[in-house]
Amino acid sequence: MVPHGNRGCLGIETDPLDVLKFHVGHTAVLVGHLEPLIQESQDTAFRFCAVLKLDYVRACAEPDGEDDPNRNWQYPFHGGSALEQVSGLIYRPFAACACGPLSHTNTKLMRAKLLLASSLVTLTASAFSEPVVSPEVHPDRSVTFRLKAPNANSVVLRYDLGTNTLQRDEQGIWSVTIEPIDPDIYSYSFLVDGLRINDPANSFLKYNLIDTESQFHVPGPLTLPWELNDVPHGVIHRHHYRSKICDDEREFLVYTPPGYNPAARKIYPVLYLLHGFSDAEDAWIDVGRANVILDNLIARKQAKPMVVVMPLGYGTLHMLDGGWGAKHTGPEWWKLRDDSFMRFHDSLLAEIIPSVEKNYRVSTDRNSRAIAGLSMGGEQSLIFGLNGLDHFAWIGAFSSGGLKDIDFDQKFPQVNEKTNRQLRLLWMSCGKEDKLFDSNQKFEQWLTAKGVVHTWLEQPGKHNFLTWRRSLIEFAPLLFQEKR
């Protein structure tokens, strides 16, 4: 077994001989002494081959059809499989294939399957060599990335701020050092001969239902709201339930602020915080660090203590079929998308909010209820909020999707000057380098023409959590204040 503490992203100690070879594409072949444990299960359009190890499932997608153990594997990459090119990092065994379209109604099952797709590791003779350190954050905030891939022809770093080309040394280790960057938490991946993989030396992952990436933290002063401070901390609660409306099992997270006591009489306002497309209910915690931000803002008395609910924002997970490679256009896509939004909206109002109000000390008054989100969640917040002011008085939208080439009057038929009577806050933001900036700005101009009072913040940045963390930092202190 690998040494204690050297665990994969699933927290599993794994024998390196468990998995000897992977094929990149729609199929992963797992051979070795665990081969008798391979099980097959049917799923829509796919058969999933799973290797069971301890209490978790590692799985990947295989197209329909008979499995031929003598198959002559064809690699879709120049110079052979990228899995054969990347080596030397057995100590974090979370290897994967690039999965194709997925059709699931259970996010736990989806996550088990997609976590396998989190990184690529080849188990070769060099796997037992000295581990590569990557990333390495230096005192001046420059960062060095390394990848052992002796047979690769090119390796490119792709991260939140751009791309950089790595150089190979005599030992086949590729590396690059980027210039000092601002303190923050960044996501990144490598392109190995054109194939995107995670950093197999780094177990700090940005989980995602389509494309999980690696992350790294450049520490900064404790005054930064996303840095962990020695202050009272809230608690994250996870609720598993079956949604009759969405016809599946799913989860939502609830943040209760420091000092929350379910037996006390104190009632808290509540914020429903929505994620973006491809993310899940935990994105605002695992990547956005919303709980850390709120802990710090509350400790500094810059924000009111509040309960924050983070649900899964899909009415149907078929929205994710095909991943980023799918064409998100045409009447069929918009029908699927509208159906997903409608189901999630109905589930939010009929299942999630009643459950929260039953189990937590939160106000049932609309004036103490807010909704906000990023990207897809920003669009949902605008649609659910502006068309449902009897439910929400505070609305936030960060880099909202879905605003391009639509009829705002048709989408928001009740929005006019009278809306101001019910709104306590309408707050919008978008990064100036975001591809959605123009559509967000047009919607802001439409609101102005309608006479709707709102706040519009143009931020530096792109379509990522570097921007959205800062949006939450600006937005949260404005919530549930006595004066508008």
Mark whether 108 and 135 lie in a shared domain. Answer: no
CB of 387 within 8 A of CB of 414? yes
Mark whether 239 and 350 lie in a shared domain. Answer: yes
Mark whether 326 and 429 lie in a shared domain. Answer: yes
Pair of tokens at residue 219: 């520490």
The 10s digit of each residue's pLDDT in 189-225 is: 999 999 999 999 999 999 999 989 999 999 999 999 9
The 10s digit of each residue's pLDDT in 106-153 is: 555 555 444 444 433 333 333 445 789 999 999 999 999 999 999 999
pLDDT at 10 over 80: no
Residue 95: which domain range? Answer: 16-126
CB of 234 within 8 A of CB of 294? yes
Mark whether 175 and 64 lie in a shared domain. Answer: no
User: Where among 126, 151, 171 does a domain terminate?
Assistant: 126
Output the pLDDT for position 333: 84
Mark whether 162 and 95 lie in a shared domain. Answer: no
Domain membership of residue 21 (yes or no) is yes
Mark whether 382 and 290 lie in a shared domain. Answer: yes
Mark whether 102 and 147 lie in a shared domain. Answer: no
Rounded to 5 degrees, φ, ψ at 88 are 95, 5
pTM attached to this predicted model: 0.77
Q: Which of 115, 306, 298, 141 is nearest to 213 (CA)?
A: 115
CB of 348 within 8 A of CB of 311? yes
pLDDT at 97 over 80: no
Output the pLDDT for position 327: 73
User: Where among 79, 105, 126 does a domain terminate?
Assistant: 126
Grouping H, G, I as helix, E, B as strand and the rest as coil, residue 213 is strand
DSSP 333-347: HHHHHHHHHHHHHHH
Residue tagged 């799923």 (tokens): 43
Query: What are the residue ranges of helices labelled H in 254-347?
Result: 283-286, 290-299, 330-347
Pair of tokens at residue 319: 């929205």
Alpha-carbon span 225 to 223, nearest angstrom: 6
Rounded to 5 degrees, φ, ψ at 441 are -65, -40
Mark whether 342 and 436 lie in a shared domain. Answer: yes
Pair of tokens at residue 162: 């751009």
Mark whether 165 and 97 lie in a shared domain. Answer: no
Weakest-pLDDT range from 84-93, 112-121, 203-212, 232-241: 84-93
Q: Which of 210, 284, 275, 246 is nearest to 106 (CA)?
A: 246
Grouping H, G, I as helix, E, B as strand and the rest as coil, residue 444 is helix
Cβ-in-10-Å burial (0-12, 13-18, 19+) of 309 comes to buried
Of residues 434 and 124, the one with the higher pLDDT is 434
Output the pLDDT for position 470: 98
Residue 196 is part of a domain; what is its CATH number? 2.60.40.10
Domain membership of residue 9 (yes or no) is no
User: Where among 218, 244, 268 does a domain terminate?
Assistant: 218
Mark whether 169 and 254 lie in a shared domain. Answer: no
Rounded to 5 degrees, φ, ψ at 471 are -65, -45
Mark whether 73 and 154 lie in a shared domain. Answer: no
Domain membership of residue 11 (yes or no) is no
Domain membership of residue 224 (yes or no) is no
Of residues 100 and 482, the one with the higher pLDDT is 482
Domain membership of residue 76 (yes or no) is yes
Rounded to 5 degrees, φ, ψ at 235 are -125, 140
Residue 286 is part of a domain; what is its CATH number? 3.40.50.1820
Grouping H, G, I as helix, E, B as strand and the rest as coil, residue 27 is coil
Domain membership of residue 483 (yes or no) is no
Weakest-pLDDT range from 109-118, 123-132, 247-256, 301-310: 109-118
CB of 455 within 8 A of CB of 423? no
Domain membership of residue 227 (yes or no) is no
Domain membership of residue 315 (yes or no) is yes
Mark whether 184 and 327 lie in a shared domain. Answer: no
Q: What is the CA radius of gyration of the chain?
A: 23
Number of domains in the chain: 3
